[in-house]
Amino acid sequence: MAKTSVILIQNIVGLGGESDLVKVAAGYARNYLFPQGLAVPVTAANKRRIEALCQRRADREAHEFNTMTELSKSISKLIAVVSVKTGEDGKLFGTVTAGMIADQLKIQFEIVLDKKKIHIEHPIKALGDYELELRLHTGVTATLKVRVESATSPTTPEEMAAKLLASKEKDGASKTESRGHKRAEKTHEEGAAADTADKGASKKARAPKAEKSGKAKAEKADKADKAE
């Protein structure tokens, strides 16, 4: 693959910094670096630009160094609070990430920091206080205090006891209601049986009257025949 030398106009991660002279694939330079204004070909005219680029780079890096040095002093006095969801046992759902911490720095202190500068040596999987290293700039580091708190309301022993009591009362009420339904059904069944028995007795009571009425009619008929 053909290589060509270029002069970088801007920093490119993994390739070099502003004013660096580097070798890259000819196609990469022609199709990407040159059209994007990230580099220029190595020519006599462009070589004369290197000194100006170097000075601009030195000024920019000095400004970044001073800014990050001041930030390191102030950020070491802060405590970034990260609220996370937890179970009733206090365990986290997942881990606290550098992105989450960067978001809280912006929200709480209006500090905009690339999450790549936040170094988490061991995964944060529990509530508590932590100290993390911030790699702000070449030769500039800082320590950030992070407090991981639960966004879920803590459950105290009293609250646990209250929940247990409420659960027992609910179970007891359900059982009482169930027994009440059963008693109502039994009473209904007994009432229906009593109604059936009353109706049967009423029919039996009416039957003799019917028989007597029939006999009386027959006797009247006999007397009429005899009278004739």
DSSP single-letter state for residue 12 = B
* 3-72 and 79-150 in the same fold: no
CA gap 161, 142 in Å, rounded:
45
Selected from 3.20.20.140, 3.40.5.10, 3.40.50.300, 1.10.1370.40, the CATH number assigned to the domain covering 3-72 reads: 3.40.5.10
The two tokens of residue 223 are 């007397």
Q: 32-51 as b/e, with b when 16 or more CB fall inside 10 Å?
A: ebeeeebbbeeeeebeeeee
DSSP string, 18-40: TT-EEEEEHHHIIIIITTTTSEE
pLDDT at 51: 84
**pLDDT tens series, the chain, 228 aa:** 688 999 998 888 889 888 888 999 999 999 999 999 999 998 888 888 888 888 888 898 899 999 999 999 999 899 999 999 888 777 888 899 999 999 999 999 999 999 999 999 999 999 999 999 999 988 899 999 999 999 876 555 565 566 667 767 776 666 666 666 666 666 666 666 666 655 555 555 454 554 555 555 556 656 555 555
- Sheet-wide strand order for 21-25: 21-25, 3-8, 39-41
CATH class entry, domain 79-150 = alpha beta
At residue 148, the 3 state secondary structure works out as strand
Q: Domain-by-domain residue ranges, the chain?
A: 3-72, 79-150
